[in-house]
Amino acid sequence: MSAVRTDLQIDLPVIADGAALWRIARDSKVLDLNSSYSYLLWCRDFAATSAVARDTDGTPVGFVTGYIRPDRPGTLLIWQVAVDADHQGRGLATALLDGLARRVGAERGLTTLETTITPGNTASERLFTSFAERHGATVEREVLFDAGLFPSDLHDPEVLYRIGPLSWPSELPEFPDFAG
């Protein structure tokens, strides 16, 4: 674990974090809430491509989940990013995303980062476009899943953000210091 601030640490999720990640996602009121079971599986099967921020008690207060695309081993798809309301506005989502991308980039030769964002989600749009700017990468956007593909009329389209090319020094700390 690496200190992010005097009161926060960023590290890998463990299975026991699954319930807390589910609660943070639920309380965000903007993320699609997956089953609590899926967060437990995520913390087991995709911990190496995810990150969690913890308070001084070790309680998760933010997370980013991702996975390497099977057909594109140089691409990390970011599934969800969420920060507990009490910790928002401190740059924690940025620290989580940058730290995860650097770690996975150094370990696996990451060249591209992808995510999907629904139209009007300006916080996510800012997070990922500023990530691209910090890393000198371009952003390509295209509708990945049109609204008509979802079983509910209440789901907006999912726009794919493809960010790259990315390059990484071979030696990086596991997680960068949190500057928030």
pLDDT at 20: 98
Q: What is the mean pLDDT of each run of 10 residues along the chain (180 residues)?
A: 62 98 95 95 98 96 98 97 94 96 92 96 96 96 96 91 86 48
Question: How high is the pLDDT of residue 82?
Answer: 97
Quote the pLDDT of residue 153. 80
d(C-alpha 173, C-alpha 26), whole Å: 31
Helices 18-28 and 36-45: angle between axes, nearest 10 degrees? 130
Domains of the chain, first to last? 2-164 (3.40.630.30)
Closest CA to 78 of 42, 53, 107, 119: 42
